[in-house]
Amino acid sequence: MYDGDRAEYVGFELSAYFGHRGLFDRAFEAVARIVDEHIDRADVSFDAVDHSAIHLHQLLRQLPIGWQPRALRLPADCPAPHRGAARGNRCPGDGFQPYPDATMPEGPEIRRAADRLERVLRGRTPDRVELLLPGLTHRGARLQGRPILAVQPRAKALLIHFAGGYSLYSHNQLYGRWYVVRAGKTPRTGRSLRLAIHTRDHSALLYSATDIAVLSEAELLRHPYLGRLGPDLLGPSTTLADARARVEEQRFFRRSLASLLLDQTFFAGLGNYLRSEILHVAALRHDVTLGAIGGAARQRLAEAAYAVTQQAYRCRGVTNELERAARLKAQGLSFARYRHHVFARAGLGCWNCETPVQRVDVSGRAIFFCPHCQPGRSRQTRKA
């Protein structure tokens, strides 16, 4: 699952750089918190960890003030330059600036990226397709000279279908990022280019991703990630009826809502912010099982999952009620503040009832909820 992997990847990169297991654990913990709290608010970019020469200091500089030194105190045997960085001395990475528009890749964001690509690629025959990951370069030949038929998001992966039965598969994980630029232009980025599709008018460029493949139709059908995906709530053929049917499948009944809503085999494309928001709209708590909440509540869950995800796609990630969001925006609140019902709003008043929003961590991932609007197990069961 893509979201959990994000923190692990960053922790891995850091530990590979520092070669220190003790640091890895602490890096993982700190990064998991950043991912939960800040990536989704577009405050932090992980561009820094894309480079093997990253300085831990660069990452630390992006952490909220207050837990920078505590969260990642370096061990005594850590290489000296980085101890210096952790003490606050300047290091070569000091000029680093995070991207202001770092995107949060859940289903709605992936679909919007696919829309941008489709506008410039669909129906075009690329002049050149470059696959730059080691071990993949020779496979680009299969795609040369073939028209592009469609760009299709599948949960958090993206498929570019070429005529002749080949598809280009990419999964951005945390760190991958697509750019679309006019032909001959290059985006200003320090990232590594991994895939480039050049048409006469545009270039579609994928940076930093490491999960890229050229697949035949047969390979597509056997693909381990694609093959296991549940209904994609943004898929063109997925309907509310599909969502309603999914929540009545008994094989999911013993699972908690917290775990199900991040499981791509249940619904594809959901991630951490959508989970908290869907549960809030459905007035359900994360710690009950699907089987325990009763039929009426399961249908509320299906409706909320469908509606919230669709709105997030249409409205650039806004999951709050649209009228309320417009009002709050007019009052001068920032996007991060008016965007959600509960996600990343711990301690702030619920928009409905003013009860402070609470945060709990389940398997290292944050869930935000209103204890009044989303009552616990006993009340919920009665209500259902």
Q: Which residues are catalytic?
A: 105-106, 156, 365
Map tokens 């995800």 to a residue. 309
The minimum distance between CB 380 and Zn ion, in angstroms, equals: 14
Residue 301: CB minimum distance to Zn ion, A: 18
259 Cβ contact list (under 8 Å, min separation 6): 362, 363
Least CB distance to Zn ion at residue 367 (A): 15
Q: Which is nearer to Zn ion, 142 or 383 (CB)?
A: 383
The nearer residue to Zn ion, 219 or 287, going by C-beta atoms, is 287
What's the rounded Cα separation, in Å, for the pair 240 and 306? 6
Shortest distance in whole angstroms from residue 9 CB to Zn ion:
35
Identify each DSSP E strand in 105-228 by its residue range.
Answer: 128-131, 148-154, 157-162, 166-171, 177-182, 193-198, 202-207, 211-216
Is 143 in contact with 214 (CB distance < 8 Å)? Answer: yes
202 or 341, CB closer to Zn ion?
341
Nearer to Zn ion, 82 or 300 (CB): 300
Q: Minimal distance in Å, beta carbon 358 to Zn ion?
A: 10
Point out which residues bind Zn ion (CB under 5 A): 350, 352-353, 355, 370, 372-373
Which residue, judged by CB position, is nearest to Zn ion in the bound state? 350
Cβ-based neighbour number of residue 301 at 10 Å: 25
What contacts 174, CB < 8 A, 6 or more positions away?
2, 5, 6, 9, 10, 35, 39, 46, 105
CB of 305 to Zn ion, least distance (A): 20
Output 113 or 357, the one with its CB closest to Zn ion.
357
- The tokens describing 106, both together, are 């859940």
C-alpha 72/C-alpha 325 separation (Å) is 36
Choice between 113 and 370, CB closer to Zn ion: 370
**Rg (the chain; Cα; Å):** 22
Please state the separation of Cα 173 from the chain's center in Å: 7
User: How do beta strands 202-207 and 177-182 pair?
Assistant: antiparallel
From 122, 128, 169, select the one nearest 147 (Cα to Cα). Answer: 122
Which residues are 369's β-sheet partners? 358
